[in-house]
Structure 1
Amino acid sequence: MKMGSSNNNPFKDQTNYSFTNKLFPYTLYALLPIAIIHLYLNPFSFSFSPTDLFPYTNRITISPSKEVLRKSIGLETSCDYSNGTWVQDNLGPLYNGTTCDTIKNGQNCMVYGRPDKDYLNWRWKPKNCKLPRFNPNSFLKLVKNKHIAFVGDSLARNQLESLLCMMGTISKPQLLYTDGEANKNRKWHIPSHNINVSIYWSPFLVKGIEKNTEKDFNTLYLDSVDEKWAKDLEFIDFLVLSVGHWYLHPAVYHNGNNVVLGCHYCQNYTEIGFYDVFGKALETTFRKIVERKGQNGNESSVFLTTFSPAHFEGEWDKFGACSKTQPYKEKVLEGMDAEMRKVGVEEVRKAKLRVEEFGNSNLRLEALDISGLALLRADGHPGPYMNPFPFANGVGERVQNDCVHWCLPGPIDTWNEILLDVLKRWGGEYKGKLT
């Protein structure tokens, strides 16, 4: 055999052994200063494993899913806001009746002389999740460069004015436009964040003719959406719908081709009630929203504020019609209040399925389920303080009361806390933690 053959090199094993023996201490010498520096800078976090020396050894890395990451930072994707209790909160509201000039006179209870103030010192505490106090800065950032619109009846306006007051503690809205009786259609602009905020008067959401001196009933066309607001859908990024109480009034209902379906509390037509009619109107509304937003690739969020219970405990024009000064600890949602809420929640559920069928991932829908928590707040209505200082001259024989709308500030501010929290859970404020 040839002496030069590598297979017969008597020094082969010794050479490799010697090189390995030298490499290992050299490696340790190189790592030792790094370890000492790390230990000095982070004395309680130093750890060492073989993979630090040999990073390319076979190992499996599992990246946590976004859902796992959400839970690790204490964030759930959803919250059951309907289940909870009212707890005392001495922080009080963000604004008052004198610092906000967008409050409708009939809801400005403090300025109109309501003597008790306890109704201002409660916050809603969901059972299984947290509902933070409204943060105006967070909301303004989330809706920056966007258009948020409230559509519906006077409860929609009530909620809108609450939101304007809370945002106004940071950046004052500027009124751009007003139209209609009692300023029912208005638009504001917030220059600091380039935000538009609108209110559209549409008490049925679908096309309707309100009762007047000639006809003492409303006329509804259940297959046609009200274009007064629907024509602007492509320009609306956040849409909050709120209707219900106008469906309790006498009305005649029409469907396609002007066919009369029946009526509620009227003559000459078949009585059909209003629960199914309310559902049909919401179905028409959501169908149009999904169809029109399906043609638009922009991100949009649509909310339905569920039915807000009234608290009349006697004649509306008698003293003490809604005189509570503390929230109920427990009260069951039942009867009409429960049914109206149920219809709203169900129609939102069906609308979500339509969104899936359309494949439009940019359109989100949610029910702001406030019916139960609102039921507990019989203390939050203007009552006789819908008029200024109603008892200045004593208690009269007739005392007009509002046990439907809400004092501002008051319990209705919570509805907008829920609105903000839903937006954050959808990825707004926490987005950076999940990407």
Structure 2
Amino acid sequence: MGIAASSSESSSWKSKVEFHEDNKSREYEHYQLTNCLLDALGHDEYIKHMKIYSCDIINPQDILSVFVFFPILYFVKHKFIVFQTNKWWYSLEKDNVYITIQRGKTEKTVKDQKKDTVRTACEEKTISFHKVSKNSISVHSLIHELNKKDALKIGYNLANRNCNHFVDDVLKWLPEITNNNKRASITLKEWHVGLENYLKNKQIKYDNPRRIFFVGTTCFPLSGGQVLEPTGASIVEQDHMITVLTMFNASGEFLLPRIVYPKERDNEIDRSGFDEASFYSVPDGWASVNSETFGSLFETLQTFVTNQRIGLPIILFVNGHSKDFKQQGIEFCEMNRMYLYDLFKNPTKFLQDPMTLAWQKAAKQWKNTNKRHTIPINKFTTVFSEAWKQFATLTNARNGFQEYSLLPRV
């Protein structure tokens, strides 16, 4: 259960989600749950069924602390959740340091051990609330609920915020998630009907591909002195992120990328490696991006539209987890006849998939040329500038819009 030795309130609590897969772990703070963590998890899947297990407290020191300070709780078990999708098995649990998510190919990999520690006396608990209706709850919706309920901000307390309480809370969320998903689980056809109604109400003609834009983000994890792949990278401890904001239209016209990075990395970022891009250093990485940053982003778009004689109005599709764009920029955009609209589900075909492929190719070429096994942070811009050349193509732009049937009929 992860008991703190000196008191019921844990001083070890990090306010982070730990994602463990293939013997490697990554850490995510609250602001990274609905973007970077979802990107790392990849394609969303429905949960087929869910089980509740209990086991002995994993850390022997925990057992001692329980016995010495709280002897009545000596026989308390660690409780955790195991669930299955079509492709994966997951475990979800809380201790005095993290909320931990494990993923593996078999139930055994997540049920019988936590990271490299074997669980003992593991048994399934019979709880009626853990039944999951078919196609009602997805992995991503569960992460969204962790974010919505501020699960990382609650902390850990032996008396009323331990592993058992966390499992009970998740079970209570299930009906709410199901109801939310029923309201949100529209088909692509229904989404298009909603878009058509919106365009009609705003009196926007959807006939010019130059006036149809996409805006999204890509997160590049930093670990120690290295830059890792934007998704699927195996790292031991994640320090911060470099976040790249990208905008382009259905005609394949790309705005130069905006690179946002933690201010503490100022001396490691070589801006000359991609001097055409715009750079923003912020105190705490992506969490500190403010209204000024977003306002200038849309001012840049307005300038681009004017200089390229694209004309107005324009429609700007936003990936589903980029709510910050809407909160900070919707007033400015509508005043200038630029209209934001959420895309259908997680648009990996627009940005994440082609960007990851371009980065992999550029990184491999740089490593081979320079006889290196990793990408140091001070070489990020050099490698990314090459990746950008491969990514920013008419084919990639049109493929993204085509995937969601968003190319205008002309």
Place the TM-score, normalised by the shorter chain, in its bin: under 0.3
- Structure with more of its chain in helix, by fraction: 2
| Greater relative CO, 1 or 2 (CA 8 Å, sep 6+) | 1
TM-score (norm 1): 0.24
**Which protein has the bigger strand share?**
2
